[in-house]
Structure 1
């Protein structure tokens, strides 16, 4: 539960936008990298232009996500789950004060509230680890956290960007897919399923490099702290490395291109860590004595692979910012230590489907999740030791396999600063358990830009 909460993300869209907006010839609007509209507070009586003139730029948003169990799931009692958050992402230009080329201070602060997850309360059997979420921004409790605070600068005529500080992986890595769906596994890329690092509002120490070999091809690398304690409340604003288990070495290739004159973005990445790992399958450890060395299966490293693409497929004849895009992304982990063996998601998005609503979106996506056989075998071993075989016995440890989840949404933008996104989710085998009834979940996400 702790590990999966650390993968919750929201607001990847704006972070990715900052990266992809640098190339004026590559328009990623239909891919989901859409600039925020004019905020509710406008220029704030002239304060915002003054801040911008002095190099301070920010995006301040409010988000809430509602989920209601229409039918099915583990618990059929109806419940409307509600969570919300405020998030500010900002940059301060330091070049004007220091003379260092493109020197920038980058920050992110997130305030989350309510932590009311429909998944854990109604949809899924709590006796197995969660593998998806009905509200991708749920998790880590009601708390205000530092998402990141980093220093960045460029070298070699802006081809190399260097970043260092208390950072989050979304600043540099796995930026090809926006976080628009409310179902977690359809939101953003799959690198967080490594369970090694966190999305969005969790920081650890690190440094990263992104080098543009060509305007289209970027190589990314870094070294980041691998700290399972980073999700703890005590770490919300901490500079400490207490709890660190080792380091993560991520490598990624990102390719921005045009196919038939339509923009697309592709990536392939891997992570390696030297942190000590525990095998999910204890085997005979449950029969072994406390001093039996064979009772502890540990090893000193693990890995994770991820990749995908996001490609515009059609363009409206009269508006380059309207059209259809499609994408697939996936993650593949070491099932000895990662209870999610692999996950893949396929999505379609259309911006401006109706002439009268050129800034509205419609999206549909499907994900497939396969659970580690080491984790499943360990559940079976627990049942054998307990002498239970009845799923409804409180002592029984359910044995997961695979799950298929889907979502359809429509996003309205009635004014520039407001987005309303109703949708419906379908959960096949929630928690990857065949014993849990398939579920239908209604959703409503609201975003207000200030």
Structure 2
């Protein structure tokens, strides 16, 4: 473990040195997603995924001289602590100004941060056996304001390294769930370059972004405060993760964002689909192996500000040119379960989504909720020809300020349903001895506190009904603890 930690730190140092001019050393690198800016304790939000902003301000505001620049169009209005969102940037933390290095770098447009997020889980009931596991993510990042650094106004450069480690309770205890109970696990327990992208504003209404990124950072954006994957990140990645690859996977991609009028935007993007990105070894980028492209598009409306209740409303969809295999029919268009032949190939796949977040009570400032109740609802539908899990629906709420004497307290509750495609269920019926799958239901309750600006603790309890979509399977209860330390 010591060796791998050294490798992650060394790789980050090399990358940072390449990105900064001579003399701008002594940095580690801004962890998380490109959308929301680092702001400490707030109130909130696969398979693998990042925003209009409503997160609450830090318990101890970051000094202006090295406060990260806000991207023009953050698109997640979940009121929640950045520390616990494993798919967004964390605030400065334990070591504060790093012996004045953050101030020095910030004056030159370079914002740096690092964090370790941990998720522990234990299943008192359900699964093949009882077990306890811990898994986590260490990430380091740098966000560079190119206007301050080299005079290129409206330009932003983001570099992020991530290292995932640990064990997954869903596998160790044999829970058989469709969605992981520790969202931070997965996509290879390895060091990787998650982000290396450049974004440029063109006038007041247009932004262009390109480089190593992922679709969940810009489309169907949702934060990752819950520990169950059902309620974490861009929802399409939870269903079709073979080609929509969320955080921490990096893909070659580009996005065009246009503000139509105040609060209303449209955007479209294109991302490489490359199975080699999922290999469990360190690399900066893959230059071959692509099987197609993913083309997402989205329209949205965000509103609210000082004295108003903030909210965001998004509708979008996607099409991919990457081939997919049919879940029911073989190459002769007969049931696979009967013939045993190779499945029918489809030349394209598609889907759509809707996402709503709205603050109901409380106050807001500068487009961010400070306290009160917020609600959300997400729904995604994929094509039924190729997706085993074809839709997911989630509703939930966040309440910040339940106990005013506890710093950064957030109560989160969510309910979700992940559906197994009826055509995949038909294949189950034709397969001797295989249970017929239907839908998996999940719920999570958590309470998060931030006793120190750099520390967040979040106990939670999860309940999974019909794990794996199998009605005869025993219900699963998971007791969890999510924690995060920012450095």
Extract unaligned runs of 5+ from structure 2: 1-30, 39-50, 54-69, 84-89
What's the CA shift string for 1:202-243, capped at 9, x where partnerless? 011111111111230111101111123321124x42432433
Deviation of the 1:312 alpha carbon: 0.4
Residue 223 of structure 1 pairs with residue 270 of structure 2: yes
Instruction: Rate the CA distance shift 1:269–1:289 in 2: closer, same or farther, 3 A.
Output: closer
- Superposition RMSD in Å: 2.8
Deviation of the 1:317 alpha carbon: 11
Paired residues for 1:218-297 under 5 Å: 218-234=265-281, 236-258=282-304, 261-282=308-329, 283-285=334-336, 288=339, 296-297=343-344
2: distance between equivalents of 1:219 and 1:180? 26
Instruction: Rate the CA distance shift 1:205–1:213 in 2: closer, same or farther, 3 A.
Output: same
2: distance between equivalents of 1:84 and 1:278? 33
Deviation of the 1:13 alpha carbon: 7.0
Paired residues for 1:1-400 under 5 Å: 15-17=35-37, 19-20=51-52, 22=70, 31-32=79-80, 36=90, 38-71=92-125, 73-75=126-128, 77-96=129-148, 98-114=150-166, 116-125=167-176, 130-157=177-204, 159-175=205-221, 177-192=222-237, 193-195=239-241, 196-234=243-281, 236-258=282-304, 261-282=308-329, 283-285=334-336, 288=339, 296-315=343-362, 321-383=370-432, 396-400=433-437
* Secondary structure at 2:187 match in 1: coil
1: distance between equivalents of 2:71 and 2:159? 23
* Maintained 8 Å contact 1:61/1:88: yes
1: distance between equivalents of 2:412 and 2:372? 12
Deviation of the 1:316 alpha carbon: 5.8
2: distance between equivalents of 1:305 and 1:329? 11
2: distance between equivalents of 1:372 and 1:364? 26
2: distance between equivalents of 1:211 and 1:317? 25
* Secondary structure at 1:145 match in 2: strand
1:418 to 440, 443, 455: 455
2: distance between equivalents of 1:445 and 1:14? 22
* Secondary structure at 1:189 match in 2: coil
* Secondary structure at 2:103 match in 1: helix
1: distance between equivalents of 2:379 and 2:162? 27
TM-score (norm 1): 0.85
Deviation of the 1:353 alpha carbon: 0.7
2: distance between equivalents of 1:352 and 1:365? 18
* Maintained 8 Å contact 2:92/2:113: no
* Maintained 8 Å contact 1:194/1:304: no
Deviation of the 1:407 alpha carbon: 0.5
Instruction: Rate the CA distance shift 1:14–1:135 in 2: closer, same or farther, 3 A.
Output: farther
Instruction: Rate the CA distance shift 1:238–1:368 in 2: closer, same or farther, 3 A.
Output: same
Deviation of the 1:108 alpha carbon: 1.5
1: distance between equivalents of 2:347 and 2:390? 19
Specify the alignment match of 1:386 in structure 2. Answer: none
What's the CA shift string for 1:334-383, capped at 9, x where partnerless? 12111111101111111111121252111111001110122222223332
2: distance between equivalents of 1:208 and 1:316? 33
* Maintained 8 Å contact 1:189/1:329: no
Instruction: Rate the CA distance shift 1:442–1:52 in 2: closer, same or farther, 3 A.
Output: same
Q: How many residues align?
A: 414
Specify the alignment match of 1:434 in structure 2. Answer: 471
1: distance between equivalents of 2:158 and 2:164? 20
TM-score (norm 2): 0.79
2: distance between equivalents of 1:402 and 1:285? 22
* Maintained 8 Å contact 1:168/1:203: yes
2: distance between equivalents of 1:442 and 1:433? 22
What's the CA shift string for 1:26-78, capped at 9, x where partnerless? 9987633758555100111111111111211123111000000011x231x22
